[in-house]
Amino acid sequence: MAKFSHSKLNLFFLLLLISLLTTAAAPAGRRHPLDPLSSDEIELIRSLVINSIRNLSTTDVTFQYVALTDPNKQYVLSWLSNPKTSPPPRRATAIVRYNSSTHEILIDLDKKAIISNRVYSGPAYSMFTLSELLDAVALPQSHPPFVAAMNKRRLKVKDVICACYSVGWFGEKMKQRRMVKLQCYYSNGSVNLYMRPVEGVTVTVDLDQMKIIGFRDRYEAPVPKADGTEYRPSMLKPPFLPPLNGVKMVQPEGPSFKVNDHTISWSNWELHVGFDKRAGPIISLASIYDLEKQKRRQVMYKGFISELFVPYMDLTEEWYYRTFFDVGEYGLGQYAASLEPLRDCPENAVFMDTYIAAGDGRPMKMANTFCIFERHAGDIMWRHTERAIPNRIIKETRAEVSLVVRMVATVANYDYVLDWEFKQSGSIIATVGLTGLLGVKASKYTHRDQIEEEVYGTLIAENTIGVNHDHFFTYYLDLDVDGGTNSFVKSNLRTVRPPNPDNPRKSYWTVVSETAKTEADARIKFGRQEAELVVVNPNRRTRMGNPVGYRLIPKSTVGPLLSVDDYPQIRAAFTNYNVWVTPYNISEKWASGLYTDQSRGNDTLATWTLRNREIENKDIVMWYTLGVHHAPCQEDFPLMPTLTTGFELRPTNFFESNPVLKVTPPRPLNRSICPL
């Protein structure tokens, strides 16, 4: 044990005390500029807004969307390079509804003051709040025509539960009311209410006045029976599959990553995990340490799901408008599930809470919003067995261990498992898992052979049609590959005939690279030709002369099947291409526009790119849409096993050579050999 003199000990404890006091007394302004809003900040925003509005009760004010305003990117990067300097001004945006008007209010959190209050006069509306949707679904219970319709169907009104659906836009010239349509379900006998729709009844609610403005009982269909819809293990009857032996992910020394507020450091990665009521998880400032260059290098400034478009294919009166924008209308962050240890996340996971502003503006805690864990699933990072050397066999292999940041959003019937995974090789993998409950329609049919007309889906159980639909996830990917000025390169793979006709081979393929000059050049619709898509930094080259880059490897090449003149597709024209590239613009964040409810498609990613701006050697953003065409099947009933898709951002000539050649495997623990 080292020996210290009294003077050295006193100096040591003095320095320690100063360090602790400095850390503890750090002013609020020293927060990371990309940290999500805290509970205190949300309360401050509410107070400032309420105090600025005169002659109104607080119940007449609805906080539709409250979020951190994106700080100036260059200020953030400058602060990051020298954290001792003052961080960028911390500001927030509140979209607030009162006096039947939508107000965009900008707040300076440092000065505790409102900077501006602008009235939005466009045709669309901001996202719904949980509280107003809960108020709306309670209205039918006391509406006499609704009660009569349920009694006619011999349903107990108290067991009928309704859900709010956005109404969309279908060419109306005049601005519509801010409203939703209610479709209802029967919970008697089963908690799986979405499998028991009450078909033919539609209730329309004005959200500003919070009253029913329309009711229609068009027809009756048998409510699907409760039998067979249960999914809770405690309520299911034998037989069961045999249980598996226990599986543990053990880290007796604790996780290898460190969490400092919202900044995570792990192995060669450092990144920031943010949160937004609309987008859900936001990954920022992802950088990787280059062992050979002995420095940290930028990869991604910001990545998140900008929109999730879910159109259903049923054309009937009760269904045609069900073309949902789950980010812009409902909010993935607002519907974040509280993750359960050992069920949603492995036992080595660390959890993170967040806050959102509720409809009344007060902070609402979202417990266990994120889980962060190391994944060690027996995958192989790299390996080789060499037998060609005489009298020697060389075997080398490395286990794959990665870092995962997970959130689950439950938007009505669907559950979306959203993962961001970071590999030591430099890859970033974004994964979406779709599970939960189908959107189904009650039907008179009990067997497929009875069906003679278009039913827009599959008969998955008696009286139950699983309706065809799509899921399109549009990701915002602001890659800053080794710096802020990048280009987008399409490396087309082309089949070529040999120049020498006597060559025994008749064809080969080669790579023809093309750098996109403008936004129009960069649009990609998968399936037309084979190509590798790389964001490169033309100002940084390897020793071999290749520009450093990151490649998009899609797992989904699905595109929309709706006609371009269909109103939902006009609103979702950002899905017309799988890949877009735009110059960075702080105001271009939401692919469906800032206001999505009842939007008309005039403020979207597709309209921004009509300017055809230059994108070569610029600060650029790549937008990638992955899609799933879902034609339901019986295995999706009564609850859908997880269907997974996603994409990979993979280093391409970013490193001089294999960056994980010198990876240090996890320290071995005592292990038991499994008996055969």
Q: Which active-site residues does the annotation give?
A: 326, 414
**DSSP codes, 616-643:** TTB-EEEEEEEEEEE---GGGSSSEEEE
Instruction: Determine the Cα–Cα distance for residues 269 and 36; give it in Å rounded to an integer.
Output: 21
482: left (phi over 0), alpha (psi -120 to 50) or beta: left
CA distances from 573 to 194, 323, 545 (A): 29, 13, 39
Q: Which residues contact 222 (CB under 8 A, 6 or more apart)?
A: 442, 443, 444, 463
The 10 Å CB-count burial string (b at 16+, else e) for 616-655 is: bebbbbbbbbbbbebebeeebbbbbeeeebbbbbbbbbbb
Instruction: Give the Cβ contact number of residue 235 at 10 Å.
Output: 9
Instruction: Determine the Cα–Cα distance for residues 211 and 179; give it in Å rounded to an integer.
Output: 10
Residue 208 φ/ψ, nearest 5 degrees: -70, -45
Distance, C-alpha 561 to centroid of its chain: 23
Residue 510 corresponds to which amino acid? T
Instruction: Determine the Cα–Cα distance for residues 399 and 539; give it in Å rounded to an integer.
Output: 35
Residue 581 corresponds to which amino acid? V
CB 350 within 8 A of CB 368: no
Instruction: Determine the Cα–Cα distance for residues 80 and 68; give it in Å rounded to an integer.
Output: 18
Instruction: Determine the Cα–Cα distance for residues 43 and 361; give it in Å rounded to an integer.
Output: 7
CB 199 within 8 A of CB 221: yes
Instruction: Determine the Cα–Cα distance for residues 590 and 446; give it in Å rounded to an integer.
Output: 43
